Amino acid sequence: MGEVLNPTQLNDRLASLRGQSAIVTTNGCFDILHVGHLRYLQACKALGEIMVVLVNSDASVRRLKGPQRPIVPEADRAELVAGLGCVDYVVLFEEDTPEPLLKIIKPDYHAKGAQYNEENLPEMATLRKIGAQVRFVPMVDNRSTTNVIDTIIQRLATTNSQEPSCPA
């Protein structure tokens, strides 16, 4: 089981591992954890020995996804991600991009979903500067938090429209 750490604790843990084990980072919101997240993180872990997941804070998710998100609070999201067998460490971050943490961690590899590329990945310049190799990992079709939320809304709407009305 992985650990949820602050940036200083993570840097201390990684100090002895740098140069001996390949460090892989990825980042995301990981709101309403689903099988797409699991398969993505497993593919990321296959790139190296140490898997560090950088999880957006609640405030960061709201700025990126809107005022209705996240559904799951940051501490719960971090703990859930850390509980996956492929994850070694989790760190929350407040910024819209993980660039400050990437400068501290200096990963060997940084993985992102294949919806990104070198032109639209916000942290690309930082990754080049620190010498990290970037890998774009295929996403799992039809598996997203947005799909989960949409399914819940549709099913609730169907259930509510089928309930018999109460006589007056």
Print pLDDT tens along the chain (168 aa).
899 999 999 999 999 999 899 999 999 999 989 999 999 999 999 999 999 999 999 999 999 999 999 999 999 999 999 999 999 999 999 999 999 999 999 999 999 999 999 999 999 999 999 999 999 998 777 776 667 777 777 888 887 776 665 555
Report the amino acid identity of residue 128.
R
Q: Which of 143, 150, 146, 152 is nearest to 70 (CA)?
A: 146
Sign of CA dihedral 106, 107, 113, 117: positive
Domains defined for the chain, CATH in brackets: 3-162 (3.40.50.620)
